[in-house]
Chain A
Amino acid sequence: MAELSDQMKDQLARHFMEAIPHARSLGMALTLIENGVAETTMPYDKKLIGDPSTGVIHGGAVSALMDTCCGAAVMSHPDSPLGTATIDLRIDYMRPATAGQALLAHAECYHVTRSIAFVRATAYDEDRSRPVATVTGAFTVERPPNDAKADPAGGQA
């Protein structure tokens, strides 16, 4: 198989998402994926609580959502890969997510080199004016064996 069309890559990313056992276990859903931008939602669930006195979900669950969303953004980048893995992920927690509310992560893969993809993401609960957390990450870019540097045009149609 040679060049993948954008549509095929989007489809691949979508399938990939659904095939991730941990994402499935947390009830994550991909709500947007195009050109290096992805959005992923995760419903509130009592099993994710990190502070029993408030019902606020654990930061680790927010990280899992963000990592998944960032990976999807990398996969959907026009200049990018067949596969990806996290190299580095840094998360900043702005405030606790409101107990009982679903989370939405929005990730943007803003730069891709031959071997690295750079991503940032933001997580929200129902209040979209005040982010819950932000992330910056670096991801690997896995290319097919004789891919002479991803040509920026994204290949023929």
Chain B
Amino acid sequence: MSRKPLEPVQVVRQRRDDALAALVNGVPYIRYLGIRFDRRGDELTAVMPFDEKLIGNPFLPALHGGVTAAFLEVTAIIVLSWSLAWERMENGSRGIDQWDPAHLPRIPKTIDFSVDYLRSGLPRDAYARARVNRSGRRYASVHVEAWQDNRARLFAQGTGHFLMPSQKTEPQAAPKTAAPQ
């Protein structure tokens, strides 16, 4: 029983950061909202720095309800995708070299998303974390919490259901439709 030698920390860190970047950076809408993801091990925190264009009520002022919904949904999808990617990455079934933008893993599709607005979003940076409550072969259920100044005072939370991407992502895996005559 020979164990594989432990990889140097820089190699591991680089692989994880690259995998996360591949998931996040390719999505124009995430860039438009200005959302980025901080990583501690496998835990992600979404960060949405305040910007004028995110305002929905200029008199208060407050974040747009749609922005809050989008922030939660983006966080749910990335955290769910990341949990799938993490598993494959850490099990070594897919090398980081296969994470290039042309062969991104398929993204889970939102079936429904429900947002609970707890207080108005202030003109401040916002943060969110998601927990995957159930991740099956076909469906997943994800809960998200978002806060601003104070972690204990959530300004919104949400729950969504997602359709999982099919396992086969290899382009050469052609559909086996042998059309028997």
Contact = CB atoms under 8 A, between A and B. Distances in A.
Interface in B1-47: 26-33
Nearest to A134: B112
Contacts of A61: 29, 66, 70
Interface in A67-120: 67-68, 71, 85-93, 96
Contacts of B166: none
A35 interface: no
Contact of B70 (A46, A58, A71, A90): A58
Query: Nearest 5 A-B pairs (CB), nearest first?
Result: A60-B70, A64-B66, A58-B29, A22-B64, A86-B65
B117 A52 contact: no
Interface of A: 19-25, 46-53, 57-61, 63-68, 71, 85-93, 96
A21 B28 contact: no
B117 A86 contact: yes
Contacts of B67: 22, 64
Interface stretch (B91-99, B103-111, B129-137, B173-181): B103-111
A87 B157 CA distance: 11
Interface string B108-129: 0111111111001000000000
B58 A20 contact: yes
Contacts of B55: 20-22
B70 A63 contact: yes
Nearest to B54: A22
B29 A63 contact: no
Most buried by B among A23, A59, A61, A90: A59
Contact of B109 (A47, A66, A89, A93): A93
A53 B115 CA distance: 27
B170 interface: no
Given A58-B27, A71-B65, A20 B73 contact: no
A52 B70 contact: no
A87 B69 CA distance: 12
Given A22-B56, A47-B28, A85 B65 contact: yes
Given A21-B55, A64-B69, A90-B115, 14 more contacts: A20-B58, A23-B56, A25-B53, A47-B31, A49-B29, A50-B107, A58-B27, A58-B70, A59-B73, A59-B110, A60-B70, A66-B66, A67-B64, A91-B69
Nearest to B69: A63
Most buried by A among B69, B107, B112: B69
A93 B112 contact: yes
A19 B55 CA distance: 10
Nearest to B115: A89
B127 to A, nearest CB: 17
B149 to A, nearest CB: 19
Contacts of A51: 27, 107
